């Protein structure tokens, strides 16, 4: 398996990351265990989650995904074979949010308890907290690393300007740097990341772990009309993609997939893996069939003609 380094850190990860947002939501505990076993058995290692997953579900409080991962780690004894990435900062309750030093110290201990581990490989700021000085946040991360609770750090949903400011502060004050960025990026959603973040991340050697890599399932090709959205939990995200550009992208995915004896989902993930700035796309699965399909993207080679066809179809 071709491992990739996250930024300048010592963390090496496989080409695909497993999105843990489904654990405890659309994948129950038993299903989650089976999928995690299959993921590691396939030679992959990066599992991405967040403390807030899945607080948006009625009756949930957050921490459901981390709790399932923790039970799996405790049961399977595979801690040394995986890279656990989690995030903090999104509201978990009244007064429980942000990136202040005091809150980060509480949040990390809660995540460690749910994950049933002594350390987090990659701890990420889920959202920028403009009310807290970057110096305070990065200083708190430094304390967590010195305490052995965290190995390296990353950021999610940061603008290029704020990420650049954070890296400058890290260099000036000799504090840990954000080794990766987690942006929303896919063949459908290109502009926000490609406008200024892609070149910046390459230049500064910041790894990129993409979320919504399959555009909430649209790029799998299973949603081609509003009728296909009926009863789907993410229908509200996909509905607006059923437009002229969306259908053009699906047609290009279909054509490349047919030529490569692959599926649209595999081609969409392979397109990300062929983007020079991307370290690993995150993809979620709730069945063994979905997982095996996504795994096929890791070895799928796209030539210049394939990339051009997909690029042209997805231009705004």
Task: Tell me what percent of the residues of the chain surpass a pLDDT of 90.
Answer: 91
For residue 148 the two structure tokens come to 């052995």
User: Which helix (H) or strand (E) element contains residue 237?
Assistant: helix 235-238
Q: Taking CA 179 as the corner, what is the angle to CA 80 and CA 132, rounded to the nearest 5 degrees?
A: 115
Q: What is the pLDDT of residue 234?
A: 67
User: Does the predicted model carry a pTM greater than 0.85?
Assistant: yes
Residue 268 lies in a domain: no
Q: What is the pLDDT of residue 225?
A: 77
Q: How many domains does the chain have?
A: 1
Task: Give the C-alpha separation, 105 to 143, whole Å.
Answer: 9
Task: Give the C-alpha separation, 111 to 189, whole Å.
Answer: 30
Which residues are known to be catalytic? Answer: 53
Name the nearest CA neighbour of 115 among 151, 64, 165.
64
pLDDT tens digit string along 172-189?
Answer: 999 999 999 999 999 999
**CB-based contacts of 19: which residues, under 8 Å, 6+ apart?**
48, 211, 282, 283, 284
Residue 300 lies in a domain: no
Residue 11 lies in a domain: yes
Residue 108 burial (CB < 10 Å; 0-12/13-18/19+)?
Answer: buried
- Distance (Å) of CA 86 to CA 92, 112, 119, 120, 229: 14, 10, 11, 7, 30
Task: Give the C-alpha separation, 293 to 217, whole Å.
Answer: 13
Residue 139 lies in a domain: yes
For residue 190 the two structure tokens come to 């290109």
Give the domain CATH number at 126.
3.20.20.100
* Burial state string for 116-143 with b = 16 or more CB within 10 A and e = fewer than 16: bbebbbbbbbbbbbeebebeebbbbbbe
Residue 100 lies in a domain: yes
Q: What is the pLDDT of residue 233?
A: 64
pLDDT tens per residue, the chain (316 residues)?
689 999 999 999 999 999 999 999 999 999 999 999 999 999 999 999 999 999 999 999 999 999 999 999 999 889 999 999 999 999 999 999 999 999 999 999 999 999 999 999 999 999 999 999 999 999 999 999 999 999 999 999 999 999 999 999 999 999 999 999 999 999 999 999 999 999 999 999 999 999 999 999 999 998 887 776 776 766 677 888 999 999 999 999 999 999 999 999 999 999 999 999 999 999 999 999 999 999 999 999 999 999 999 999 999 8
The rounded radius of gyration (Å) of the Cα atoms in the chain is: 19
Q: What is the pLDDT of residue 227?
A: 79
Residue 77 lies in a domain: yes
Helix (H, G, I), strand (E, B) or coil at 29: helix
Q: Quick one: DSSP state of residue 38?
A: H
51 lies in which domain range? 4-182
């Amino acid at each position: 398996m071709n491992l990739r380094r996250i930024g300048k850190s010592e963390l090496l990860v496989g080409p695909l990351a497993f999105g843990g947002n489904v654990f405890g939501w659309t994948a129950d505990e038993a299903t989650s265990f089976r999928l995690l076993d299959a993921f590691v058995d396939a030679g992959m290692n990066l599992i991405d989650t967040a403390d807030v997953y899945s607080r948006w579900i009625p009756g949930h409080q957050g921490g459901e995904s981390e709790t399932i991962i923790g039970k799996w780690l405790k049961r399977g004894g595979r801690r040394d074979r995986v890279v656990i990435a989690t995030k903090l900062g999104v509201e978990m309750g009244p007064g429980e949010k942000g990136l202040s030093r005091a809150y980060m110290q509480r949040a990390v201990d809660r995540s460690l308890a749910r994950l049933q581990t002594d350390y987090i490989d990659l701890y990420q700021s889920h959202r920028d907290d403009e009310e807290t000085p970057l110096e305070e946040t990065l200083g708190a991360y430094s304390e967590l690393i010195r305490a052995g609770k965290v190995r390296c750090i990353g950021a999610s949903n940061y603008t290029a300007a704020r990420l650049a400011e954070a890296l400058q502060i890290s260099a000036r004050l000799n504090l840990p740097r954000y080794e990766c960025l987690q942006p929303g990026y896919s063949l459908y959603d290109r502009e926000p990341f490609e406008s200024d973040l892609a070149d910046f991340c390459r230049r500064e050697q910041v790894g990129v772990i993409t979320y919504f890599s399959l555009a909430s399932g649209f790029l799998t090709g299973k949603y081609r009309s509003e009728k296909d959205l009926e009863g789907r939990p993410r229908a509200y995200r996909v509905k607006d993609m059923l437009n002229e550009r969306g259908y053009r992208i699906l047609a290009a995915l279909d054509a490349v997939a047919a030529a490569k004896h692959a599926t649209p989902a595999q081609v969409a993930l392979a397109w990300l893996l062929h983007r020079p700035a991307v370290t690993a796309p995150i993809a979620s699965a709730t069945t063994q069939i979905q997982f095996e399909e996504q795994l096929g993207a890791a070895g799928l080679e796209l030539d210049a003609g394939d990339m051009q066809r997909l690029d042209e179809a997805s231009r705004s």
